[in-house]
Amino acid sequence: MFMRFQSLKGFRDFYPEEMSARRKVLDKIFETVRPYGFREVDSPSLEMLELFRVKSGDEILTQTFNFADKGKRDVTLIPELTPTMARMVVEREKSLKRPIKWFSMPKMWRYEEPQSGRLREFYQLNVDIFGVPGPEADAEVLAAGIDIMLKLDLEGQFIFKVSDRRLMQGVLESMGIADRREAVFAAIDKRYKVTHSEFKELLAKADLDDLKIGQLLSILDSRGPMLEALQKLRGLISLENEQTRAGYESLEKLTDLLVMYHMEQYCELDPSVIRGLAYYTGTVFECYDTKGELRAIFGGGRYDKIIELFGGEPMPAVGFGMGDAVLEILMRRAKVWPEEKLTTDYFILTTSAQYMETALFLAQALREKEFIVETDLLGRNFGNQMKYANSIGAKYVLILGEKEMAGGQVSVKDMKTGEQRTEEVIRFLDSVTK
């Protein structure tokens, strides 16, 4: 008796109908980022484990599919793309023209407990700009991210939460608690994942007294539309601190740029957005569903030290990552996920095997015009061929029967209306266009 197998936990199969819908989504994403001048790159699925350990420390060991290969090298399936992109930039940093604008959407792997919106194997879009120090690049990647969501018919379903790590670093310095930054940032990063009382407890564990907790909460609560929230925040912070001033002024400039892109309405200032990864150096942002029911759809920001970290010359960088799993959940909830069905332009029905030469001539001529065409490969009868044509979503059935073949003709049946006409094969081919 043979064993039956199934896919591993946290991994997915995509059958043709499902893949058809996914392809439409992926194509729309790529068609959105390319006009911004982002160029597609590709890279290995397997990298040296040390590449990710340099960025994330030993913690990454428990989160990746890593192993020693036959050459006794520690390698891993890639859990993210930023270290790989940095490696690629460093390898050609002398010849690459600035700005470097890249995108890619490979498969990635993380050895984590699967849950809604988080899988062990997933696709992630990465969009990055290297070589631009100012908020102009931050605005460009944000605009591309917002545009993706709009092109996917998700207007009203999402919001980008924006902040700047320097702003909050400066705030902690001004409050005299800079030495507790890691603990405070870790607590802030969990703010929306715990209750309000639990959040205050986390701040207390970071050794903040009630006064400082109150001050910090006032600043964190100054969130809202970018222009209004920045004005409110201005009254709560001191710009005498260099870090605070740099972060605040960058956010002001970023807001001005978003207005120029006509995209400021899709963003809000939220000082609680810290991003858990310590390598972020300036602007940070996350994209959420407006109902606040899902995990972050996007995450990104500025990481100006990343190229140096991997042995390159100093080079500013900004970008984001967007996983496919949460995006699909949101699109399904918003009822804008494409219909999962097969579509075929033409199915060529033959009533006799002797008509196969004409069928293949027709098929190849139509395929050269970029139509999707199928012929009967199983020698089925008329009825079963029609059933199959229906099952593959054929728009038209081209019938080659005894009558048609005798006159050098083909009958064209519209599967939606049921209407049928007969015309010469050559005239038919001359008349059809994509």
Return binding residues for L-histidine. 80-82, 110, 124, 128, 275, 279-280
Separation CA 397–CA 418 (nearest Å): 10
Sheet containing 409-414: give its strands across. 373-375, 344-350, 394-400, 409-414, 420-424
d(CA 176, CA 208): 10
Phi-psi sector, 176: left (phi>0), alpha (psi -120 to 50), beta: left
Q: 279 is written with which tokens?
A: 């390598």
Q: Is the peptide bond before 99 cis (omega within 30 degrees of 0)?
A: yes
For 376, residues 6+ apart whose C-beta sits below 8 A from its C-beta are: 347, 348, 349, 350, 359, 385, 388
Q: At 252, which amino acid appears?
A: E
Which residue numbers belong to the known binding site? 80-82, 110, 124, 128, 275, 279-280
Going by their DSSP bridges, the two strands 373-375 and 344-350 should be labelled as parallel
By C-alpha distance, which of 119, 106, 125 is closest to 13?
A: 119
The residues, any chain, with a CB within 8 Å of residue 390's CB and separated by 6 or more, are 415
Cα gap 280→306, rounded to integer Å? 9
Which two tokens mark 75? Answer: 């390698």
Q: What are phi and psi of 94, to 5 degrees?
A: -75, -30
What are the Cα distances from residue 52, in Å, to 60, 83, 130, 283, 315?
7, 6, 19, 22, 19
Q: What are phi and psi of 60, to 5 degrees?
A: -65, -20
Angle of the 242-260 helix axis to the 226-234 helix axis, nearest 10: 160
- CA 245, distance to chain mean position in Å, is 32
**The tokens of 122 are what?**
């997933």
Strand (E) positions, 80-239? 100-104, 107-109, 121-130, 158-164, 224-225
| Collapsed DSSP state (helix, strand, coil) of residue 17 | helix
SS3 of residue 400 by DSSP: strand
How many Å apart are CA 85 and CA 144, to the nearest integer? 19
Count CB neighbours of 196 within 10 A.
9
